[in-house]
Chains A and B, each alone.
Chain A
Amino acid sequence: MIRLEKRPNPSRLWTALTPVLAVLLTMIAGGILFAILGKDPFEAIRTIFWDPLFNEQFAAFSRPQLLVKAGPLILIAIGLSLGFRAGIWNIGAEGQYILGAVCGAAVGLAFYPSESPFIFPLMVIAGALGGWAWAMIPAVLKIKFGTNEILVSLMLVYVAEKLLASMALGALRNPEGGGFPGSRNLSQHPGTDNPELIAGTGLHWGVATAFIAVILAYILLNRHILGYQIKLAGQAPRAARFAGVNPNLLIAICLGLSGALAGLAGLFEVSGPAGQISIDFNSGYGFTAIIVAFLGRLHPVGILLAGLLMALTYIGGELAQFMLGLPAAAIQAFQGMLLFFLLGLDVLSNYRIRLTGFAAKGAS
């Protein structure tokens, strides 16, 4: 018989090892999936994980993309991880990301055609505020009425998508765009652009912000009383209340902060890689960031690595789509699988596996 025995503390070894194991298992399961789809599994895995970085033909294009894709994922996941640690589930980052982009872009477009260097900082502030405000809706409702933040934040994603469509077709539409939906291009206009800071690396302001967020989150969680309270509230909510943690304040901070970071990610995306507000501007970063947060064990450094890995599957997935005709949905399923394996393997860090034979039965 197999018996699980709860560990007094999660095993550090297994906590670090399970993401690696999960990735390996996902590669195997993904290989089987690709084989069922009639693709060579080894070639598919190599195309996804190896070619974007080391293939001579593609690496020059793919490598900078790594940071471009990882930036928003890390930025959003860092914010989400704080809430997840405290048991506050913001799963509407996709909506906050959209609002950040819309608000930031609106500020940038309001000053058009000015090229003043003050516009971009203003856009950044507007983007963060937009995401923050959108996340404060579930926060306020939870604090005031005890409404479930999971459902509210998720419903607001759909509302944000409708709002985005209305903006792309209406208020923010490019007046010189010949009636096509979509705003003016922000990334090709000095003053509103979020350029590549070091040529050929893909590093833009959003990526830089993501790195800063990683460092600040690390300090917050390890050196600051708020970080301690967040961890305490998640592990022992009752003890946290006795220790004087204000749960409402924690809800407001965790949701607000994750919203602001998601909003920033949206702003940096719309002024950089995406370039403009369009109907299909959002591409699921807000949801993939949930996987990134868990894959990184809700730890800032882990999230940094997980964000890079997840970005790799995005780029590798596009490459596999182009080279092998692998459907885009296969990558989405592949990413979902990764989360499953990770959550399943978590049992190893929280429990000891005991093999109990008949002899042990009498003892227990």
Chain B
Amino acid sequence: MGGIDPVVLIASLMVASTPILLAAIGELVVEKAGVLNLGVEGMMILGAICGFATAVETGSPALGFVAAAIAGAAFSMIFGLLTQYLLSNQVATGLALTLFGLGLSALIGQGYVGIKAPNTPRLDLPVLSDLPIVGPILFSHDAMLYVSLLIVAGVWLFLSRTRGGLILRAVGESHDAAHALGYKVIRIRLMAIAFGGACAGLGGAYLSLVRVPQWTEGMTAGAGWIALAIVVFASWRPWYALIGAYLFGGIVVLELNLQAAGVKVPVDLLAASPYLVTILVLVLMSRSKSRAALNAPADLGRSFHATA
């Protein structure tokens, strides 16, 4: 175990967590608005390839991230259109989004296999980045990682401290009551879905541009689903989503380090551990029913159809 450096471990767990964190915080807003979008995996992988392709073609990772956010949001609008206007089943439509996204991304990504992404620059502040321990953990990441933390803070601020956030939560708790008060339920939900799609797209692009950084088919490997689990773990609270994602990233990084260190645990068991841990966490969270149930939006996953 001597080969594992805790400072490097923490720094790399932040990088490993960011894709899931981004996707989870987006989905959290969507679910707070009362919509269950199971298409996170599909939006993520589409963001991954669109961001990667744009970055390769233009040479600019920043443009790549912008493109990924746009692609994710645009893709989520298929889901929005179907569930909000055509009142389709949200579970089935979300699944369709994932299946379609996996196929479409593979199609777009054909010419991009095996290419290296342009390098995303890391923060390099004089003095601060060179500090021992604090430097590598806090001050030497890429800009997107800090953006992800800003998004979490922004979502927390929006949901708990602004009028807009109150309206969004009202729509999620009781769309009929919100509708009766004169709020545009469908429009608000569509905006939430688009935000969720943009965040998932960013998460995917972080995977293909920073974390890996390469494009391979199906590279999200369940990250979108894990993000969904993180939302449940967080009981729909933004800062808990951050904790959940970082805990999860810690497990992934630890697993990779253990593999590299040659610990005598079967490799396949280690490789399966992120998924097993996710299941374990879900079980633990659903056991304490009262707490999670209180925070779950009451109208989550139900279609809204104004009768009058």
Interface residue ranges, A against B (CB under 8 Å): 4, 6, 37, 89, 91, 141, 145-148, 150-152, 154-159, 162-163, 165-166, 287, 290-291, 294, 327-337, 339-340, 343-344, 346-347, 350-351, 364
Q: Is B213 an interface residue (CB 8 A)?
A: no
Whether the pair A155, B88 counts as a contact (CB closer than 8 A) is: no
Whether the pair A151, B282 counts as a contact (CB closer than 8 A) is: yes
Of B104-112, B130-138, B174-182, which binds chain A? B104-112
Q: Is B272 an interface residue (CB 8 A)?
A: yes
Q: Which of B82, B86, B276 contacts A159 (CB 8 A)?
A: B276
CA–CA, A188 to B128, complex, Å?
66
Q: For residue B38, which residues in chain A have a CB less than 8 angstroms away from its CB?
A: 150
Q: For residue B102, which residues in chain A have a CB less than 8 angstroms away from its CB?
A: 332, 336
Main secondary structure of the interface of A (DSSP, over half): helix
Known: A146-B286, A347-B86. A336 touches B103 (CB 8 A): yes
Whether the pair A339, B305 counts as a contact (CB closer than 8 A) is: no
Of B55-63, B114-122, B221-229, which binds chain A? B221-229
Complex: chain B residue closest to A343, CB-CB: B88
CA–CA, A6 to B107, complex, Å?
38
Whether the pair B100, A327 counts as a contact (CB closer than 8 A) is: no
Least CB distance from A248 to B in Å reads: 15
Q: For residue A89, which residues in chain B have a CB less than 8 angstroms away from its CB?
A: 91
Known: A333-B103, A336-B103, A340-B100. A141 touches B283 (CB 8 A): yes
Whether the pair B103, A329 counts as a contact (CB closer than 8 A) is: yes
Complex: chain A residue closest to B82, CB-CB: A344
Q: Which of A147, A162, A364 contacts B283 (CB 8 A)?
A: A147
Can you spell out 10 A-B residue pairs with CB atoms less than 8 angstroms apart? A155-B276, A159-B272, A290-B99, A291-B96, A327-B107, A333-B104, A335-B99, A337-B100, A340-B100, A343-B96
CA–CA, A328 to B110, complex, Å?
10
Least CB distance from A295 to B in Å reads: 11
Main secondary structure of the interface of B (DSSP, over half): helix
Complex: chain A residue closest to B89, CB-CB: A343
Complex: chain B residue closest to A293, CB-CB: B92
Whether the pair A6, B110 counts as a contact (CB closer than 8 A) is: no
A141-B279, A152-B282, A162-B272 are known contacts; what are 16 more A-B pairs with Cβ within 8 Å? Answer: A4-B305, A141-B282, A145-B287, A151-B279, A158-B222, A158-B272, A287-B99, A294-B92, A332-B102, A332-B103, A333-B104, A339-B96, A340-B82, A344-B86, A344-B88, A346-B88
Whether the pair B100, A333 counts as a contact (CB closer than 8 A) is: yes
Q: Which of A148, A163, A165 contacts B286 (CB 8 A)?
A: A148
Interface residue ranges, B against A (CB under 8 Å): 38, 78, 81-82, 86-89, 91-93, 95-96, 99-107, 110, 217, 221-222, 225-226, 228-229, 232, 266-269, 271-272, 275-276, 278-279, 282-283, 286-287, 289, 305, 307-308
Least CB distance from A15 to B in Å reads: 14
Whether the pair A333, B107 counts as a contact (CB closer than 8 A) is: yes
Whether the pair A343, B99 counts as a contact (CB closer than 8 A) is: no
CA–CA, A156 to B277, complex, Å?
11
CA–CA, A333 to B110, complex, Å?
13
Q: For residue B221, which residues in chain A have a CB less than 8 angstroms away from its CB?
A: 158
Q: For residue B278, which residues in chain A have a CB less than 8 angstroms away from its CB?
A: 151, 155
Q: For residue A166, which residues in chain B have a CB less than 8 angstroms away from its CB?
A: 266-268
CA–CA, A327 to B108, complex, Å?
10
Complex: chain B residue closest to A166, CB-CB: B268
Whether the pair B87, A347 counts as a contact (CB closer than 8 A) is: yes
Least CB distance from B95 to A in Å reads: 6
Least CB distance from B109 to A in Å reads: 8
Whether the pair B86, A336 counts as a contact (CB closer than 8 A) is: no
CA–CA, A291 to B100, complex, Å?
11
Whether the pair B268, A163 counts as a contact (CB closer than 8 A) is: yes
Known: A6-B305, A162-B272. A155 touches B286 (CB 8 A): no
Complex: chain B residue closest to A152, CB-CB: B279
Least CB distance from A8 to B in Å reads: 13
Q: For residue B287, which residues in chain A have a CB less than 8 angstroms away from its CB?
A: 145
CA–CA, A155 to B248, complex, Å?
14
Q: Which of B100, B103, B272 contacts A163 (CB 8 A)?
A: B272
CA–CA, A125 to B107, complex, Å?
39
CA–CA, A344 to B229, complex, Å?
27
Q: For residue B92, which residues in chain A have a CB less than 8 angstroms away from its CB?
A: 294, 339, 343
Q: For residue B272, which residues in chain A have a CB less than 8 angstroms away from its CB?
A: 158-159, 162-163
Q: For residue B81, which residues in chain A have a CB less than 8 angstroms away from its CB?
A: 344
Whether the pair A343, B91 counts as a contact (CB closer than 8 A) is: no
Q: Which of B99, B279, B283 contacts A339 (CB 8 A)?
A: B99
CA–CA, A89 to B82, complex, Å?
20
Q: For residue A344, which residues in chain B have a CB less than 8 angstroms away from its CB?
A: 81-82, 86, 88
Known: A291-B99, A340-B78. A158 touches B275 (CB 8 A): yes
Q: For residue A148, which residues in chain B have a CB less than 8 angstroms away from its CB?
A: 232, 282, 286
CA–CA, A145 to B276, complex, Å?
16
